[in-house]
Amino acid sequence: MKHCTRRVRSLKVVLLAFVALFCCVPFVADAAPKFSLKLGHAVAEENAYHYGALKFKERVEAKTNGDVHIDVFPNNQLGTGERDLLEGLQLGTVDIYVGSTGPMGGFEKRFLLFDFPFLFKDKKHVYSVLDGEIGQHILSLLDAKGMRGLAWMENGFRNLTNAKRVINGVSDVKGLKIRTMENKVHMAMWRNLGVDPTPMAWSEVFTALQQGTIDGQENPIPVIYTSKLYEVQKHLTLTRHVFSPAMIVVAKAAFDSLPEEYRKIFEEAAQEAALYERSVCDKMENDFIDDLKENGMEVTTPDLAPFQEACKSVYEEFRGELGEDAKLLDQIIAAGKE
């Protein structure tokens, strides 16, 4: 019965998302598009990113009356991991990227601003920052890197899973080998906690967990569930250590090739898709914790204060890399206290 309940609940999430996405799609004439673009992301079709990508495609195609066509390529079809996809934007092999900001620090250091541990109090705090002046300023930095940032989506707060033991405190994570994104702030955080951080392409993670090459990984709840990590991980710890923003980014060359009216449509469609994706991600995050429990994962919520204390030095270690924008870090912290 529990298994059936889980399946029904999960199917509801998927069905509701598709109903909301396609119930109001207007008729578009069957004519050859003037512009054909490729959108790539790194995760499965069940992930909220994919729903956001489909919504963006739908809104652009509808608003341009079919003059712009977007093909969506999920599951790393256009590259091995998010860094590959971002490089593809610069090389011209990918036109649009939907994905996390995790690898972005390798292209523009000031994107590290959002990677500091335990920076955001809750999602209200997150979006007061991302949708405000700070978030728009950070997006604008991509222009110099051959990319155009259109909107902020989300992947949710990241949490730790492992196959070895229950995590009740900092001492329990020591010695674990944990897969991380290729992000030096994230890696420094885990080192401070006594973990061996191991960067690895997402496409390799399930097999590595299955074979015991790594002990665990860290990701938001929707990714943990839709990737079926409960099959190879026993323990889920709700650490909420980093909020993982996501973006809709278009190659600047592709964006600049569009007529001005279509560029405006891209910006409008991206905002609509981002709000929609956030709502899907919220629902998944709320529902999937129960589903993970029903699939055998033991879920714990430790006292986070010792974790936060252990990670304080990360702020001083990387503050200097933000340059004159280091002051934004203090503004974000202050906003969380309002």
Closest CA to 188 of 233, 139, 134, 242: 242
Low-confidence ranges of the chain (pLDDT < 50): 2, 4, 8, 24-29
Look at residue 206 in the predicted model and tell me its pLDDT. 96
Q: Are residues 243 and 184 in contact, defined by beta-carbon separation less than 8 angstroms?
A: no
Look at residue 115 in the predicted model and tell me its pLDDT. 93
Look at residue 86 in the predicted model and tell me its pLDDT. 96
Task: Output the furthest CA–CA distance in the chain (Å, rounded).
Answer: 62
Rounded to whole angstroms, the Cα distance separating 163 from 293 reads 15
Closest CA to 222 of 246, 186, 250: 246
- Residue 89's H or E segment, with its range, is helix 82-91
Residue 168, domain extent: 2-335
Q: Which two tokens stand for residue 273?
A: 């898709």
Task: Write down the pTM of the prediction.
Answer: 0.84
Look at residue 182 in the predicted model and tell me its pLDDT. 83
Q: Beta strands 196-199 and 177-180: pairing type?
A: parallel
Q: Beta strands 96-100 and 35-40: pairing type?
A: parallel
Strand partners, 73: 40
Look at residue 21 in the predicted model and tell me its pLDDT. 55
Look at residue 202 in the predicted model and tell me its pLDDT. 83
Look at residue 28 in the predicted model and tell me its pLDDT. 45
CATH number for position 236: 3.40.190.170
Closest CA to 17 of 212, 223, 195, 273: 273
End-to-end CA distance of the chain: 45
* Domain count within the chain: 1
Q: Are residues 43 and 102 in contact, defined by beta-carbon separation less than 8 angstroms?
A: no
Rounded to whole angstroms, the Cα distance separating 180 from 157 reads 14
How large is the C-alpha radius of gyration of the chain?
Answer: 20
